[in-house]
Amino acid sequence: MMHADAPAVAGPSRHPADDRVSIVIPCWNAEATIGDAIDSALAQTHPHCEVIVVDDGSTDGSAAVIAGYGARIIALHGPNRGGNAARNRGIEAARGRWIQFLDADDLLELDCVAAKLAFVAGTGGIPVADTRVIDHDGAERIRRWERVDDDPVCAMINRCPWTAASLLPVDALRAIGGLDESLRACQEYDLAIRLAIGTDTPARFARLPVVLATYRRRHGSVSGDAERISRAFVQVFVGALAMLEAREALTPARRALIGRALARSARSRFRQGDPGEAERLFARAAELDPDAVTAPFPHAAQRAAVRLFGPMLTERMAGSVARLARLRNPPHPAAVDRPRKSQ
């Protein structure tokens, strides 16, 4: 979580209006992309932005790239403590009323901040804009966040906004203690759920149906580490469960959704070779909602087996069937190694 003592930083004085936005960019070994990210932040059409770049102990040339921007940005440097610690340093240093997060390999559209502020002024909600996703192979798609539940907590559990999609009030971020620095992935999930649970006033998110950021997947990123993501999901939902129980706010709908989320994580942990953790998570899911353990199983026959034999035995039987099928129908070597015919 955030430290109470915010660092003193150089930069322009606080603008008296309520529309100053702090764009916070954590950076770790992003020499090839950090310049593009900073350029997209500095190019915003909204005139009252400050750009805070937090170099999280980079060992490549990132620090030199950041230094090249001089007084146009607020540059913070420190040892490597992880992306969430870097974001929290940015929140501490921020002098804007709003925070726009931006990862070091992603981009903002020119009118990203202006469009989100206009949305806030018109609706009072926290905007969740659409995001352009560029995959490893260069293929592009649009990720659209859809609110599927009137309950703000259930809406976030069902589908959370990505990091750069929202414009977040700095006071709310500080009130919940910023980002959880122990998380190694899924920080946007955790942050959105905790904001929705809230302190005095829970945050309400609403879709802004315009593409305002570009998310670039790269090899070696956290988003490609399935086991780390699975563990982080469990940490997020166990934490949310504890918060809701402490506030006596664990409604039946919230119980059911968290139970299903834990059951999905249980199946992932089983397939990643951790049956002990899988069994524990399935049991916790069943305590929350007896029907939750069937949620990760897409086929009716599988769900029927779960009801008869339980999820662990169902998974083991499914694995045995899959192995038997591979033994009975091995790939033909010629089908794998046959040279392609010249054109």
What's the pTM value of the predicted model, to 2 decimals?
A: 0.85
**What is the DSSP annotation of 99-143?**
EEE--TT-EE-TTHHHHHHHHHHHH-SEEEEEEEEE-TTS-EEEE
87 and 209: one domain? Answer: yes
Do residues 196 and 205 lie in contact, with contact meaning Cβ atoms separated by under 8 Å?
A: yes
Domain boundary among 200, 218, 236: 218
Both 181 and 232 in one domain: the answer is no
Percent of the chain predicted with pLDDT > 90: 73
Q: Are residues 204 and 231 in the same domain?
A: no
Q: Are residues 238 and 211 in the same domain?
A: no
pLDDT at position 8 is 34
Is the pLDDT at 263 greater than 80? The verdict is yes
How confident is the prediction for the chain on average, in pLDDT?
88
What SS3 class is residue 206? strand
Count of domains for the chain: 2
**Residues 189 and 213 both lie in one domain:** yes
| Whether 310 and 281 share a structural domain | yes
Shared domain for 275 and 204, answered yes or no, is: no
- Is residue 304 a part of any domain in this protein? yes
pLDDT in tens, 5-52: 433 333 333 443 579 999 999 999 999 999 999 999 999 999 999 999
Phi, psi dihedral angles at 159 (to 5 degrees):
-165, 120
How far is 133 from 317, CA to CA, in rounded Å?
Answer: 37
Torsion of CA 243, 249, 255, 258, to 10 degrees: -30
The yes-or-no verdict on residue 70 having pLDDT over 90 is yes
Do 191 and 87 sit in the same domain of this protein?
A: yes
Q: Is residue 311 part of a domain?
A: yes
Claim to verify: residue 232 and residue 126 sit in the same structural domain: no
Residue 343: predicted pLDDT: 41
> Among 218, 242, 264, where does a domain finish?
218
Residues 199 and 77 in one domain: yes
**Residue 80 sits in a domain of what CATH number?**
3.90.550.10
Instruction: Give a yes or no: residue 35 inside a domain.
Output: yes
Same domain, 278 and 297: yes
For the cut 50, the answer to whether the pLDDT of residue 158 exceeds it is yes
Q: Looking at this protein, which amino acid is placed at residue 98?
A: W
Domain that holds residue 254: 226-322
Whole-angstrom CA distances from 335 to 331, 332, 338, 340 are: 7, 5, 6, 11
Asked, for residue 335, whether it belongs to a domain, the answer is: no
Residue 173 lies in a domain: yes
Q: Which residues contact 188 (CB under 8 A, 6 or more apart)?
A: 160, 161, 162, 163
Cα angle 191-194-197, degrees, rounded to a multiple of 5 = 150
Strand order, beta sheet including 49-56: 74-78, 49-56, 21-27, 98-101, 168-169
Residue 328, domain member (yes or no)? no
Whole-number pLDDT of residue 341: 41
Give the other-Cβ count within 10 Å of 76's Cβ: 21
Q: Quick one: pLDDT at residue 7?
A: 36
Q: What gap in Å lies between CA 250 and CA 243, rounded to an integer?
A: 9
Residues 124, 264 within the same domain? no
